Amino acid sequence: SLRGKTAVVTGSNSGIGLGVARELARAGADLVLNSLTERDEDHALAEAISTEFDVVAKYVKADMSVGEECRSLIESAGSCDILVNNAGIQHVAPIDEFPRDKWDAIIAINLNSVFHTTAAALPMMRAKGWGRIVNVASAHGLTASPYKSAYVAAKHGVVGMTKAVALETAQEPITCNAVCPGYVLTPLVEAQIPDTMKEYGMDRETVIKEVMLARQPSKEFATVEQLGGTVAFLCSSAATQITGTTLSVDGGWTAL
């Protein structure tokens, strides 16, 4: 059980981050939820999880594109036993047309934030003699697709940083791993299905299997609950000797 542990999950008011937060709460962890908005519904989300799983949960606004805000998120948590670096964005364009501001934002949010939060969290983990760092990378941390240069660079960077941090903490009761999802059914992905159906003139099943999951051999999306369960496993005692590695949740994508 993760009772008495505090988990900070970046970018957790939707999608995978929220799924991860819920599964960690189910395992008993207290939570710090985060995103860059400050709405009533963000705080209500923390309250609902707190009630459902009988854990302490709060929501803290912080922009993961800003190094100081990454560090202050960890400090405001008071304690950070589990750090899940999940916040991330995407932009798709050929490299010679890739907008510079999009490149900078992807590298800042998807890669630099992991440096800042990890640097802030490690001293807290060392003080308490236990820690788990799980970085949500991607199948694109291990393979590439055209037109996703910034995302692929950032996610490969996250996988590399994961290994370096694991070596720096190898003789301590702290682990650092990356989870590499393939295509996950999040609200954002769900919302793309009707438009893609129209664009290709296909039914829902065909669009999912032939277009969206063209590279996912299982022809099934991964779910946010499955991602959450994978992160919870990496925080469990069974995973004590798992460090510096990647765990793919991609229906066979990277086996191709």
Catalytic site positions:
151
Hey, how many other C-beta atoms are within 10 angstroms of the C-beta on 205? 10
The reply on whether position 64 binds ligand NAD by CB under 6 A is yes
For ligand NAD, the closer CB: 89 or 128: 89
DSSP code for 169: T
Hey, how many other C-beta atoms are within 10 angstroms of the C-beta on 187? 10
What letter represents residue 29's amino acid? A
Question: Per-residue x/- mask for ligand NAD, residues 191 to 230, rule CB under 6 A?
Answer: ----------------------------------------
Half-sphere exposure of residue 157: CA atoms within 13 angstroms, side-chain side: 16
Q: Which of 93, 144, 153, 189 binds ligand NAD (CB under 6 A)?
A: 189
What letter represents residue 121's amino acid? A
| Minimum distance, C-beta of residue 128 to ligand NAD, in the bound complex (Å) | 25
The reply on whether position 29 binds ligand NAD by CB under 6 A is no
Closest among 237, 254, 239 to 2, alpha carbons compared: 237
Compute the distance between CA of residue 21 and CA of residue 190 in angstroms, rounded to an integer.
20
The reply on whether position 175 binds ligand NAD by CB under 6 A is no
The reply on whether position 89 binds ligand NAD by CB under 6 A is yes
Q: How many residues bind ligand NAD (CB under 6 A)?
A: 25
Question: Per-residue x/- mask for ligand NAD, residues 108 to 137, rule CB under 6 A?
Answer: -x--------------------------x-
Q: Which of 184, 207, 234, 247 binds ligand NAD (CB under 6 A)?
A: 184
Compute the distance between CA of residue 113 and CA of residue 71 in angstroms, rounded to an integer.
9
Q: Which two tokens stand for residue 211?
A: 């277009």
| Minimum distance, C-beta of residue 1 to ligand NAD, in the bound complex (Å) | 26
**CA-CA distances (angstroms) from residue 180 to 107, 133, 142?**
17, 14, 8
| Minimum distance, C-beta of residue 151 to ligand NAD, in the bound complex (Å) | 7
Closest among 132, 134, 125 to 85, alpha carbons compared: 134
Q: Which of residues 68-87 bind ligand NAD (CB under 6 A)?
A: 86-87
Residues binding ligand NAD (CB under 6 A): 11-17, 35-36, 63-65, 86-89, 109, 136, 138, 181, 183-184, 186, 188-189
